[in-house]
Amino acid sequence: MIPSSERLSRQIAFVLELDKLKTVLRQTLLLDSSRFENDAEHSWHVAVMAMVLAEHAPPGIDIGRVAQMLLLHDVVEIDAGDTFIHDEAGAADKEARETAAADRLYGLLPADQAAGLRALWEEFEAKESPEARFADALDRLQPILHNVATEGETWKRHGVTADKVLRLAGRIDRGAPALGAYARALVTEAVRRGYLAPAPDGLTG
Amino acid sequence: MIPSSERLSRQIAFVLELDKLKTVLRQTLLLDSSRFENDAEHSWHVAVMAMVLAEHAPPGIDIGRVAQMLLLHDVVEIDAGDTFIHDEAGAADKEARETAAADRLYGLLPADQAAGLRALWEEFEAKESPEARFADALDRLQPILHNVATEGETWKRHGVTADKVLRLAGRIDRGAPALGAYARALVTEAVRRGYLAPAPDGLTG
């Protein structure tokens, strides 16, 4: 209908489909507690964090690549939905749901481009490259920051305890030790202030 | 209170302040027309567009830099608010409002980092480098795509006519001629379908 190359048409179809990520809600609240955060604005926030916190990444890391990974990291949730980080039941079939979603969504693009962007998402999921680990660290740190700033609203609603958040801090360590140390300090302070319940039975993660 | 370097504390203060961009609303609707788009999710959308539409940029352009520019391009609107692209009264003092906003917001960061990130925003605003022009093209194209997909809801509400949208297409041309041509085709089709009023008195932009 609108004159354009087949290739551009496919790219625009993908761009329009991405709009749906703005309606996928996470468990994280905005800092003013007015509503839940959606995946699109979360992806923006962590991508900017990559720029702002770049100096805490291991030397030689490609921050542009980290930012691009974070821009795409939740796109599969358009079909698969958001799985709360502490939801063990939801985690069981998460991979299958997300793989099917990637097939459909990246399949909207020209094949060569689909492969390239999907590879970037798969690199993020594998958490093996320094870039993927730093991206994962930021993706874990951001909800901790939001929880502390909202006096632990999401933690309290889901009965999350300090040992579980400390496990996430361990993942932050793998990507950015300085940010992992900062996250652990946040957990200690959150427990002290009553925003986060201590570990049951003296567990420390 | 929470042990961290002064430098990291300032970076985290900036990151937390950024959350407010999620509550700055634009005139653009989501594609399901359920609500207005906010600046944070818009910034995410256009940054991903930079990745997806990269091949339509002039050769040699640094797409990582374009994406970073787009991630930051609306941050000043936390203080200055969104100025509708066709709002001529609002445009008059836009620059002064945004400069004051940049002073305060980037001032949260360590000074060296504030200068670097602010320079990237200023490069975007100047629209002189190929990266800034391509970023601007995507920032102009995205609301046109949304308007066409929502049958011109925002255009109709504000009485926008085809000549005005064609002027924006001219700006898209400066950054990415193929996307400018595509935008003009969208305008022709939108007028034909009754989503967009034709130019008054036979103006064509």
CA distance A18 to A28: 20
Q: What is the mean pLDDT of residues A49-58?
A: 97
Nearest by Cα to A195 from A146, A138, A142: A146
Model pLDDT for residues B66-80, shown as the tens digit of each residue: 999 999 999 999 999
Q: What DSSP line would sit under A30-75, residue for residue?
A: PTT-SSEEEHHHHHHHHHHHHHHTGGGSPTT--HHHHHHHHHHTTT
- pLDDT, residue B92, reads 80
Render each residue's pLDDT in chain B as its tens digit; 205 residues.
Answer: 566 799 999 999 999 999 999 999 999 999 999 999 999 999 999 999 999 999 999 999 999 999 999 999 999 999 999 888 777 777 888 899 999 999 999 999 999 999 999 999 999 999 999 999 999 999 999 999 999 999 999 999 999 999 999 999 999 999 999 999 999 999 999 999 999 999 987 565 4
β-bridge mates for residue A25, sequence order = A38
CB atoms A71 and B48 under 8 Å: yes
Which residue in the set B21, B44, B189 is minimally distant from A1, CB to CB?
A: B189
Chain A residues lying within 8 Å of B52, measured CB to CB: 11, 14-15, 109, 113, 117
Could you give the angle at the alpha carbon of B64 between the alpha carbons of B112 and A41, nearest 5°? 85
- pLDDT, residue A205, reads 47
CB atoms A16 and B145 under 8 Å: yes
Q: What is the CATH number of domain B6-193?
A: 1.10.3210.10
Q: Which of residues 45-84 of B touch A (CB under 8 A)?
A: 45, 47-49, 51-53, 56, 64-65, 67-68, 71-72
φ, ψ for residue B36 (rounded to 5)?
-75, 150
- pLDDT, residue A154, reads 95
**Chain A nearest CA to B22, separation (Å):** 7
CB atoms A44 and B41 under 8 Å: yes
Question: Exposed, middle or buried by CB within 10 Å (0-12, 13-18, 19+), for B12?
Answer: buried
CA distance B76 to B47: 17
Model pLDDT for residues A156-172, shown as the tens digit of each residue: 999 999 999 999 999 99
Quote ipTM for the complex: 0.94
Find, in chain B, the residue whose alpha carbon is nearest to that of A145.
Answer: B16
Inter-helix orientation angle B111-126/A39-52, to 10°: 120
Find, in chain B, the residue whose alpha carbon is nearest to that of A8.
Answer: B53
C-alpha dist (Å) from residue B124 to B78, B104, B105:
17, 19, 17
Chain B residues lying within 8 Å of A112, measured CB to CB: none
